[in-house]
Structure 1
Amino acid sequence: MKHVLILPILLPLFMGAVLLLGHRLGPSSKRLLSLMATWALVPLSVWLLLLAGDDQLRIYALGNWQPPFGIVLLLDRLSALMLLVTAVLAGFALLYASRGDDERGPNFHALFQFQLLGINGAFLTGDLFNLFVFFEILLISSYALLLHGHGPQRVRSGVHYVVLNLLGSSFFLLGVSMLYGLLGTLNMADLAWRVGQLDPAEAPLVAAAGFLLLVVFALKAAILPLFFWLPRAYAAATAPVAALFAIMTKVGLYAILRVFTLIYGSEAGELANMAQEWLWPLSLLTLAAGVTGALAARNLQILLAYLVVVSVGTLLAGIALATAQGLSAALYYLLHSTLIAGALFLLADLIGRQRGEHGTDLVSAPALHQPLLLGMLFFAGAISVAGLPPFSGFLGKVMLLRAVELDTQAAWLWSVILVGGFGMLIALSRAGSLVFWRTNAEIPISVSADPVRLLAAAGLLSASLLLVVVAQPLQVYLQATASQLLDLQPYLQTIQGGGA
């Protein structure tokens, strides 16, 4: 029972190694092994979610070295929630990929498992250096997955993605090194206690290290002005890879939430909540930039990539509120935006396959072979991501708007979110009319969508309705998650001495 915390890391690690060593296995065997390992993460994540529901922090000390001296994994409500949404998204994305997309290049399934290893490790680690290590694992895997399928567009986008993230990794290492040199520890709970007891003479350097980390996490999360790599990279990736990448920006947001709530949170003395004054304007500007990019997009996949940027701005606004109600609303919107964005990337690929050489370009093309089926799925996804009832996007935005007090801050948030939602609706309506209505006289491609691919896209889309059905108990869980994040004493008590 006590070793269950490390299973979300060990399972993709060992399966990735098996698939890498068994690269001569047939495609069917690789798919079976990879699907079994990925879908096994779903019940495992549910188990961890139920364990975390008792509000007890669970620590797994690797090598039995107790904190703050050893490397630890930490399970709380937030990390369990992120593990579950990752497992569900990855399961449907891999199901889609197993219908042929995985054969475009070598070792797809091994890379997919290593990507999950990095993501799950980032969500579970309680050590800042290990957060860097897991970031590098998921980034190295994402470099190869982005280039999977070859082509000049993927290589060009991949080079930009690699260069920027290598620069970000350098900043990350600098920030971690500064904190270790100044405070002598990298355990997050121990860092939180030591920052709270900080000598005022060292505060500027510790603050500088924090701002370096904020820049790194902003790059990972695609926050303005560090989001320009995202649209081209996501549009160039194959559909299942782009769907999995929907969780990548959330890893950056998770890191911001974890580090600047715990280490630089309310117990950080004169550095308490030092990032809050930056997060609020950045969230609104990121949201506005994402909507502007979506309105200007001339390709459906690029349009969807900008909608990911919009979701980042919306989530950052909830984090910037720094209240339990704001955080719970942001977490609900995170679940919605991650799963629906993944579904729309898969659906865009299904649409592009029936448009011949025009693909996902927003131009006049032959009529689709299945316009009614694909049109209904696109309509459901579009109104959900735009925030219209009765889908989860509407509930998420209502929760966020209700979380802010009626003052100048509320005026800005309401204006940007409502005008932004209207802009998203215009962009998606224009895309839908070009794809489904403005057809030319060319002979349609009479190829039906693959049933398994349809199942994967529809499965993720159904999350929008499911989140509405379970909204009440889910909101109770998310409210408790937000309260747990803002109560730092249990985290400080996980270290020996210090805050114990």
Structure 2
Amino acid sequence: MNHWLIAPVLLPLFVGALLVCFGSQPRLARGFSLLSTVALLPIAIYLLGLAATGEIHTYALGNWQSPFGIVLLLDRLSALMLLTTAVLAIFAVLYALRGEDQQGLYFHALFQFQLAGINGAFLTGDLFTLFVFFEILLIASYGLLLHGRTQARVKAAMHYILLNLVGSAFFLIAAGIFYGIAGTLNMVDLARAVSQAQGDQRLLLHAAGLLLFLVFGLKAAFLPLYFWLPKSYASAAASVAALFAIMTKVGLYAIIRFSVLVFGSLAGESAGLGLSWFWPLALLTIFLGALGAFAATNLASMVAYFILVSVGTILAGIALGTPQALGATLYYLVHSTWVSGGLFLLVGVIASQRGKLVDQLTRGPALNRHSLIGVLFFAGAISIAGLPPLSGFFGKIMLLFSATGWQAGLLWGVILSAGLIGVVALSRAGSQVFWRSNAPAREDIHLDTASLVIASGLIVLSPVLVVFAEPVSQFTQATANQLFDVIAYLSLLNGGVN
């Protein structure tokens, strides 16, 4: 077995436990947290190279082979998600080191625990350990959301915690039904069990599957389960909100994994479970997310609503149910995660320049280096809105051209309408913050150049994705093709690749 498969989980988990002891020693905590987070990047790159060969690798915990033991599973999809997370986490922790981490104790321990939970969710091949990793990342996110203990954060955290506790209960109920009927929680083995189920057993598995999709939908935050997200993300510290940009993708990842593997092409009568519901919910999420961005009264809320637009766009790609659509969707997923994370960091820089006005969309004093900040905001805005020539445009175009028939017309109409609304919202925000200042820049507030450079790093990845659009899209398409080859996953039950 290749022991590097478990490194993205063990490294932040052990470092997080170690950092609990350094709560009163911030310099040590900062150093260990930064080293651990940066170390995840070469590990993710190595695992991406390992997965790029097309082989599906497994790691049997305790050397108990599947389906009897718990396994980690590395394929192109999990490797892509690990790399996306590692890049995002480096910029988030660097921004936090500029002072946000000092607003409360144990920030870095919670940050590492959340990375352990996220990476574990992307790597696990078992439904129960998926639940465990969900709980690890959620518990860590509760503490990170409360970091700084402002009234807005406490209020948003209460709603967030209560909804996720309900979701966790539903998750356990669904897992119990799956185990009671199939006798296994291994995802590949569940795919075999679903394909062979008959009669009432099949109906019970359908009920468990739909309940799981409900839970994943709560994590992903699509309509009608998204109401917790805008206030939670808008009230969080900038570095926390940036890391949270990957949180909705965990739910979408789980939907992809279950819809293509467990309820995929070999599932017989169960094939495509939930896809007919995902389609209208995706389109409504896109449109209502755009309206929310248009109605937002502060920049952080606007970016949070654009995350909802991206969630709906990704869900639409999943609902199309073809390898071509899923390949385009995965390219768009990487783009939306990095750019929205960068915008949250940039909003933090802007808010620090405006005193009591923070990020409110009202006239205020001019910003220091407002031209540079304005250019970065413009680049992030056109990318998140899907305008050429940045990566959001390429991702949406690939997705739109992957749709056929009546679905193509609906998707084009909704995405273009939402894009227009988004452009208007972003233009209004830019004019309020950068052009319509009512006073010169405040001399008592200085621009943290390092924070601006860190925020710009994620936004600059958008043109990087354009420059490398061909190899990236080829990889995402190969990832989609691999996911739809369910037989290759089922072969793991008979030995497979280790």
Normalising by structure 1, what TM-score? 0.98
2:201 match: 202
Quote the Cα distance in structure 2 between the aligned partners of 1:136 and 1:497.
30
Equivalences for residues 9-158 of structure 1 within 5 A: 9-25=9-25, 27-158=26-157
Equivalent residue letter for 1:360: D
Quote the Cα distance in structure 2 between the aligned partners of 1:152 and 1:203.
48
Give 1:112 deviation, angstroms. 0.2
Equivalences for residues 206-245 of structure 1 within 5 A: 206-245=205-244
Quote the Cα distance in structure 2 between the aligned partners of 1:36 and 1:454.
21
Name the CA shift for 1:443/1:494 in 2 (closer, same or farther; >3 Å): closer
Whether contact under 8 Å (2:294, 2:424) holds in the other structure is yes
2:301 match: 302
1:476 match: 474
Give 1:201 deviation, angstroms. 2.4
Q: 1:492 aligns with which of 485, 490, 493?
A: 490
Whether contact under 8 Å (1:355, 1:445) holds in the other structure is no
Give 1:76 deviation, angstroms. 0.0
Equivalent residue letter for 1:348: V
1:266 match: 265
Deviations 1:25-52 (A, max 9, x none): 2x22211110110011011100000000
Give 1:443 deviation, angstroms. 6.1
Quote the Cα distance in structure 2 between the aligned partners of 1:327 and 1:168.
26
Give 1:439 deviation, angstroms. 1.4
1:465 match: 463
1:178 match: 177
Gaps of 5+ in 2: none
Quote the Cα distance in structure 1 between the aligned partners of 2:444 and 2:458.
26
Whether contact under 8 Å (1:356, 1:445) holds in the other structure is no
Quote the Cα distance in structure 2 between the aligned partners of 1:361 and 1:465.
28
Matched position secondary structure for 2:223: coil
Equivalent residue letter for 2:153: R
Matched position secondary structure for 2:59: strand
RMSD: 1.2
Whether contact under 8 Å (1:231, 1:305) holds in the other structure is yes
Give 1:390 deviation, angstroms. 1.3
Quote the Cα distance in structure 1 between the aligned partners of 2:300 and 2:473.
31
1:317 match: 316
Equivalences for residues 297-376 of structure 1 within 5 A: 297-376=296-375
Deviations 1:111-133 (A, max 9, x none): 00000000000000000000000
Whether contact under 8 Å (2:22, 2:28) holds in the other structure is no
Deviations 1:202-235 (A, max 9, x none): 1111100001001000000001000000000000
Matched position secondary structure for 1:363: coil
Matched position secondary structure for 1:54: coil
Quote the Cα distance in structure 1 between the aligned partners of 2:441 and 2:98.
26
Name the CA shift for 1:443/1:368 in 2 (closer, same or farther; >3 Å): closer
Quote the Cα distance in structure 2 between the aligned partners of 1:11 and 1:268.
37
Quote the Cα distance in structure 1 between the aligned partners of 2:132 and 2:66.
18
Quote the Cα distance in structure 2 between the aligned partners of 1:90 and 1:129.
26
2:434 match: 436
Equivalent residue letter for 1:461: I
Equivalent residue letter for 1:297: A
Give 1:400 deviation, angstroms. 0.7
Matched position secondary structure for 2:171: helix
Whether contact under 8 Å (1:193, 1:492) holds in the other structure is yes
Aligned residues: 496
Matched position secondary structure for 1:74: strand
Give 1:373 deviation, angstroms. 1.1
Shifted more, 448-457 versus 55-64: the winner is 448-457
Give 1:265 deviation, angstroms. 1.1
Give the % identical residues. Answer: 58
Shifted more, 320-329 versus 88-97: the winner is 320-329
